[in-house]
Amino acid sequence: MAEPIRIAIDAMGGDFGPAVTVPGAALTLERRPGCHFLLFGNEAAIRAELAAYPRLAAVSTVRHCDVAIRMDDKPSQALRAGRRVSSMWQAIDAVKKGEADVAVSAGNTGALMAMAKVCLRTMAKIERPALASLWPAATERGFSIVLDVGASIGADARHLVDLAVMGSAMARALFDLARPSVGLLNVGKEDIKGVEEVKTASRLLKEADLPDLDYRGFVEGDEIGKGVVDVVVVEGFTGNIALKTAEGTATQIKDYLRQAISRSWLAQLGYLLARGAFRELKEKIDVRNINGGVFLGLEGVVIKSHGGADAHAFARAVEIGYEMAHQGLLTKIRDTMATITHDDPLSPDTAPNSSPPREAAQ
Amino acid sequence: MAEPIRIAIDAMGGDFGPAVTVPGAALTLERRPGCHFLLFGNEAAIRAELAAYPRLAAVSTVRHCDVAIRMDDKPSQALRAGRRVSSMWQAIDAVKKGEADVAVSAGNTGALMAMAKVCLRTMAKIERPALASLWPAATERGFSIVLDVGASIGADARHLVDLAVMGSAMARALFDLARPSVGLLNVGKEDIKGVEEVKTASRLLKEADLPDLDYRGFVEGDEIGKGVVDVVVVEGFTGNIALKTAEGTATQIKDYLRQAISRSWLAQLGYLLARGAFRELKEKIDVRNINGGVFLGLEGVVIKSHGGADAHAFARAVEIGYEMAHQGLLTKIRDTMATITHDDPLSPDTAPNSSPPREAAQ
């Protein structure tokens, strides 16, 4: 058997802390037996939860941290108060030190991003990191990848190409594809549509004809869920809004349906008979099953779980981290970036059409 | 009784032409008896349909046009081939000449926008027109207004303020509200989040404290459907993607549910019993019931129906046009713009933080 994957967990992250992160890790261990865990946070609280999971306890090391980052801490506050000493920082730092292959936290996104950037640093040749999300899609595997969903705001053409490279590396790692298909999110299909950065990125990706990704042109908002491509690339402001809009729409439809059914006993009876189908639907659109954002472009793998995740959802995020580490995400990104550098089709073209990048406001 | 509302219809627009637009007008007439119609297009085709609707025929004038804009004509092609002579142009021109109060077309969006701009011109003090869409929301009336959903790409702070003014005028006309609530779509709630234009627009709207709209700050993508505000303002690229993403998500969930139900006879039975509830859900999320985009900021009211609309859906679009004309949309926009000019809080502040506007690519 190969080396076990070592997973660093910010046990204090999220709305519920060890009450969710420890049972979540236990669920992961059932499904991925070849894991070791480093659990960072309040030792007493963690051990109290661990007592119920002897098999997890046997493959876990607990590292006490005095500081836990709060869900409403601003990134700057989090860095001031939690650098080096918080469970979030320590989990990331374990990746940097080579003690863990991946770090997982359900803590707040801004703080996690800031700490991951400061601690791990951005990969060579990558301008800025990104946050990638799984998106339920009508594909065989049930998901596409969408990035950036909010790690940074604004993107020049070069950054959009980086996003394509990083997203395709993630798709190769997670979906086991040789050459994932990639599309740029735009307001129409024709070459002349959209903002300059997107048009330039499209041209660059066509010209580069990279060995590791199959660039398919523009896709529109209603095509993400159809799974027309494996990876959808979009700048972080629009990507974040698109993701939240889709989540909001799913919730809204669930609410409408619940209200409509509750208004008649016949409908309620019908619901009972069809509850298998409803369960299946719920599985498909449940945010818990698509939990686990991946920070891409850093010198280490960091996974962000929803703050409100339960153990089941947290385990999903941990398992995405497992796959990313197991399949060598970073190597895959580096390999593709290397093919870009050799051809170097990008540098002369991007500058005139690019607007200056803006960092995500914090 | 007041003067009848006169509605100019591009009878050839959309995937089905007079076979949908004429029955659609007839449906409108049933629900809004005080209407007169100007029907533009192939006279023989229109009269053939009109024969089935004598009451509509009695209040309609048919104006023959030789040219019909195709659904895939580019805006520039459409203008070249269809200026002055097409049914689309003529319907818009009837508004300009004062022969009609509103024009409705199911023709292609780009062509309609281009013709409306050229024919009607932009209102004084409005930088660029916008396209506003109804969005199903958990409010008493069931809808919010979102704009811009794609009329132009990129927006400086000043244009975002214009969008707020135009959207609130539409909300006052359509929802009969005295002071609609308005939010700016952003990636977070805090003042420091998002792109500069959005932050500046937020500050300007707060400072202006306009009498006709109640500015409530930032809203996120998942809050549109919750109806937290009556009007959601967003730049056209992101707005278009958000709208299509929401439509795509609704379709996707409908497909999942259909598939899940079709897999078991028990679920099918349940579906039959609950079909009233499903019908109710379908009504709520059916794109046909939310048909009718409103072009705002032009010297005349132009309504865009979905190209694939059936008669029922087309009638919805016509009725939105009716309300806009009946309630004096243009006067409402002008009135609010006047309150801005008097205070003039905008001009000195916007310039340094604004990026140059970009026209929608065509």
Tens digit of pLDDT for each residue in A31-43?
999 899 999 999 9
In angstroms, the CA B236 to CA B297 distance is: 14
User: Is residue B306 one of the residues assigned to a domain?
Assistant: no
**A296 lies in a domain?**
no
| Nearest Cα residue to A321 out of A111, A37, A64 | A37
Say if residue B189 is in the same domain as residue B255. Answer: yes
Identify the CATH number of the domain in which residue B27 sits: 3.40.718.10
| A312 found inside a domain | no
pLDDT below 50 — which residues of chain A? 1, 342-362
Max CA distance (Å), chain B: 67
Confidence of residue B266 (pLDDT cuts 50, 70, 90): confident
Both tokens of B198, joined, read: 């959005």
Rg (CA), chain B: 21
Domain boundary among B120, B144, B159: B120
Whether residue B52 is predicted with pLDDT greater than 90 in this model: the reply is yes
* Closest CA relative to residue A19, chosen from A60, A65, A53: A53
A274, A229: one domain: yes
Q: Which two tokens stand for residue A67?
A: 């500081």
A178 and A62, same structural domain? no
Pick from B242, B249, B253: which is nearest to A241 by CB?
B242
Answer whether A271 sits within 8 Å of B269, measured CB to CB.
Answer: no
> Is A256 within the bounds of a domain?
yes
Does residue A116 sit in the same domain as residue A136? no
Please report where in the chains the tokens 């796959």 appear, as a residue. A323
* Gyration radius of chain A's alpha carbons: 21
Q: Are B236 and B154 in contact (CB under 8 A)?
A: yes
The pLDDT of residue A234: 97
Number of domains chain B is built from: 2
Per-residue confidence band for B125, with pLDDT thresholds at 50, 70 and 90: confident
Q: Which candidate in B153, B245, B290, B362 is best for mutational testing of the A interface (most A CBs within 10 A)? A: B245
8 A C-beta contact, residue A168 and residue A124: no
Which domain range does residue B217 map to? 130-287+332-353
Does residue B252 fall inside a structural domain? yes
Same domain, A99 and A153: no
Same domain, A162 and A79: no
For residue A52, being part of any structural domain is answered with: yes
Q: Are B266 and A276 within 8 A, CB to CB? A: yes
- Nearest C-alpha in A relative to B154: A195
Largest pairwise CA distance in chain A: 67
Structural domain ending residue among the three candidates A120, A145, A179: A120
Residues B172 and B23 in one domain: no
Q: Which residues contact B264 (CB under 8 A, 6 or more apart)?
A: A274, A276, A277
Contact call for A222 and B242, based on CB within 8 A: no
What pLDDT digit, counting tens, does each position of A14-65 carry?
A: 999 999 999 999 999 999 998 999 999 999 999 999 999 999 999 999 999 9
Residues B33 and B85 in one domain: yes
CA A66 to chain centre: 27
In the three-class reduction of DSSP (H, G, I as helix; E, B as strand; rest coil), residue B193 is classed as coil
Instruction: Say if residue B197 is in the same domain as residue B345.
Output: yes
**Does the ipTM exceed 0.90?**
no
Tokens representing A76 are 């700057």
Task: Indicate whether B208 and B266 sit together in one domain.
Answer: yes
Are B180 and B97 members of one domain?
Answer: no
Residue with tokens 């995500």: A360
Give the CA distances from residue A280 to residues A62, A140, A276, in Å, rounded to whole numbers and listed in that order. 37, 16, 6
Is B311 a member of any domain?
no
- Per the prediction, chain B carries an average pLDDT of 88
Rounded to the nearest 5°, which phi and psi values hold at A122?
Answer: -80, 145
Q: Are strands A302-304 and A293-296 parallel, antiparallel or unpaired?
A: antiparallel
Average pLDDT over residues B229-252: 93
pLDDT at residue B96 greater than cutoff 80: yes
Distances B251 to A124, A226, B245 between C-alpha atoms, Å: 41, 9, 10
Query: Could you say which of B247, B273, B280 has the minimum Cβ distance to residue A260?
Result: B280
User: Which letter does DSSP use for residue A207 in this model?
Assistant: H
Which of A59, A86, A120 is the endpoint of a domain? A120
- Residue of A151, A204, A143 lying closest to A177 (CA atoms): A143
Q: Is residue A36 part of a domain?
A: yes
List the structure tokens of B103: 């024009």
Distance CA A161, CA A12 (A): 35
pLDDT at B2 over 80: no
Rounded Cα gap, residues A102 and A38, in angstroms: 10
* Chain A CB contacts of B234 below 8 Å: 241
Q: Judge if B103 and B168 occupy the same domain.
A: no
